[in-house]
Chains A and B, each alone.
Chain A
């Protein structure tokens, strides 16, 4: 089995119609009593993907994962693994392993025994088990801690044991439920890259559930954003950030300014948005055909907006405003610019110069501007 590449030799099997998905959700619905956790959803996940399911708490992302692990059975629909239905197969018979959010390390077994547990259940010969355990311990760099009990390990070490244990059986699919949630920020960032390296070197398929969008953006091949039991968009991190399909996605991932207005003119792929009285129309590229008079939206990320004291000459969209507030986080500053109609726009600048030399300050009259290609045209 070799990974397939498209013309640009970027890993994107979801764009290749010849590629068979490893996992298929087919019209899956899951009800808990009268509550619908998953509402008639279908997605495909391909081999070697690092697939993230992202969403606010209660959106159904954990239910999706637990159905893959076999801990929940869909009320309706079918889940296929390698073309075979696994909908009614119990967890212990699935070639799928899971890393639990709480790590779920067995407290009465040391690190080695925890890692060997799944292999023993499989009936693997003893010397092979020892080899595999050693390989896993080396992989997660816990050589000195092999004989320790989970209670004698730090949070980061426990996380590694949990990872090693779930990788030990070399499953076709590894499920990770908020794997880095319990780690502090620095350790989390390091571990993200380790996870990516491990996934790449073992050539496994990972499905990760997280509520941390930065984590999802960093590690994933594709991200599925969920809300209220529905998958809103599935895209690669860059595409989901740059080409959100709705205001929900634009707003959920990162910061965004959203202008609401009516389509004033639409020819070919250029749209003009009439958005406020006495203001110039906003220019944008159409993401899909629009009719004059339709209610549409323009989403612009703060980092794509320039801010200056002099009126810029070559921008497509130029607005005048006053600096209302400045959010300083060290490396960047976010300027909250109030427009004459009362709307506040966020514009973000990298602090290349020291604070003392900054030329923009509170109450300054400024111009904000962006090109028509910088914003995203949204219809919902």
Chain B
């Protein structure tokens, strides 16, 4: 391996420091015994304890998880339908327009999406609360899900479905027995993506929520306006830990799948 030059080492260090130092500080201060955020007063985990005793935070966390789980599930199912129509629907009138519209919300400013949904709910006289946040999150989560699933579906050999039908499956049964298992990994990724997006959405949730429905990002944002507390640091640290764990698990699963694939190939060659 080539040795890095001094210039490279310096720029790498600065770059990584810029990216990760704030996060490291945040994690460090979550274990601070002092109530003052910027003054180190010794190691303590008391803010984690007080966080779990803070009902407002716990309620917000519960709301967030429910919103994320429900909206991710619905978004994955709807996104899957969208992907099937886009990839398998063949040519139909307005296909380009429809597929363009599926991608449009990806680049739409969140403020616009949030505002337009708010106007819709007001116009329909729809009571704002958890339901409206879920509906809003489904609308954008489903676009991401459709993109992820359609990319898998378009690389899937369509003759698999034809073979299933040829062997006696109705088109619906062929989808359940053959297509769904084959695209299952993409559906899982789509769900995780929609879940994560819903988890950290602040803008759209703020527009569409009502009294009694506060998500975690909203709660954090509103508490920070009154000053950063060590509890927030603890909460953020937990979120970072969760995400890190998720990413590591995903890459480990990927590596294992790749290793299995190579092993399979070797097995196939061995008895060729």
Contacts and interface: CB of A to CB of B under 8 A. Distances in A.
Interface in B159-182: 159-160, 162-170, 173, 178, 181-182
A81 to B, nearest CB: 15
A101 interface: yes
B268 A151 contact: yes
A149 interface: yes
Contacts of B165: 70, 90-92
Nearest to A151: B264
A106 B169 CA distance: 13
Contacts of B269: 154
Interface in A41-76: 69-71
A97 B269 CA distance: 29
B163 A100 contact: yes
Interface residues of B, number: 24
Interface string A102-116: 101011100000000
B159 A104 contact: yes
A118 B160 contact: no
Nearest to B269: A154
Interface string A75-97: 00000000000000011100011
Given A91-B166, A92-B168, A154-B272, A101 B159 contact: yes
B159 A107 contact: no
Given A92-B169, A92-B170, A122-B168, A104 B163 contact: yes
B162 A121 contact: no
Contacts of B271: 145, 154, 157
Size category of the A interface is 20 to 34
Interface string B111-134: 000000000000000000000000
A217 B168 CA distance: 32
Interface of B: 157, 159-160, 162-170, 173, 178, 181-182, 261, 264-265, 267-269, 271-272
Given A98-B163, A104-B159, 20 more contacts: A70-B166, A91-B166, A92-B167, A92-B168, A98-B162, A98-B166, A100-B162, A104-B157, A104-B162, A104-B163, A107-B182, A108-B181, A117-B164, A117-B167, A118-B168, A149-B264, A151-B261, A157-B271, A165-B163, A165-B167
